[in-house]
Structure 1
């Protein structure tokens, strides 16, 4: 497995939650909450984090409607993701984030987090949920591909017999 961190972003109108994988891509941890100022300052801050943490891939939560339709906010987030892609030349993936904030609230409830501090960490936890979902899907896809490759080898062996 290639080394390098994957960064996940939960982009909101007021805050951006940031999470990182470990260098081997096994775990996801919250990093910080970026309080938004303006697009250029936000991008500049994210670019610094990307360099500092040696990020090799970025996953951006795509806030679709529950129906799956693209929301007006999703269009803005997609433009933001495109700008990150252009400025970094890194792979940037959009990941369906429907219900990630709800899952983040459930995680914080289970951990007994105080309502007063929740707004400072909720976006980070949502970014972790996004990153975990993307990492699990990538792992499942790799496992399916390995099984298909193995099945193809076995079929070839049986045909040769």
Structure 2
């Protein structure tokens, strides 16, 4: 089974999915947010399409570890999603994932217009890959 990762923003949701062995994360799409109901509907369809067994959602934290501004909105989204799906949903610290994604795209000399289109997807990849790497490290210790 696969694991799906999300970078939830105010305007978009970046989506990444693991490979079947749950070793690597691949960016899949960016959902343009419309309403909570429609966003949940789109996410639920992706969960079914990719046969996902777990969801990982980035939770924004400040550098001091306190929850960031979007955290309440993300927790509300998770609560709504839990009503619709019967798979575990975990959060991971997403500090600096968008900044890392942007830096990667800058280093690759991706144009500003193109960066805006893919940054959320790449942030979702970073969130999911961080989770996957931690699982491998847990299993090796």
Q: Same fold (TM over 0.5)?
A: yes
Aligned residues: 141
Indicate the structure with greater helix content: 1
**Which runs of 5 or more residues in structure 2 are unaligned?**
none
Q: What TM-score comes out, normalization by structure 1 length?
A: 0.84
**Paired position in structure 2 for 1:18:** 15
**Paired position in structure 1 for 2:112:** 115
**Which runs of 5 or more residues in structure 1 are unaligned?**
145-161
Of residues 57, 71, 76, the one that matches 1:74 is 71
- Max Rg structure: 1
Q: What TM-score comes out, normalization by structure 2 length?
A: 0.96
Runs of 4 or more above 4 Å deviation = none
For the aligned residue pairs, the C-alpha RMSD in angstroms reads: 1.0
Of residues 89, 104, 109, the one that matches 1:92 is 89
Between the aligned partners of 1:117 and 1:71, the Cα distance in structure 2 is 27
- Once the two structures are TM-superposed, the CA of residue 82 in structure 1 deviates from its matched residue by 2.3
Q: Which has the higher contact order (CA 8 A, sep 6+)?
A: 2
- Once the two structures are TM-superposed, the CA of residue 6 in structure 1 deviates from its matched residue by 0.6
Between the aligned partners of 2:116 and 2:69, the Cα distance in structure 1 is 23
Of residues 46, 54, 59, the one that matches 2:56 is 59
- Once the two structures are TM-superposed, the CA of residue 120 in structure 1 deviates from its matched residue by 0.8
**Paired position in structure 2 for 1:40:** 37
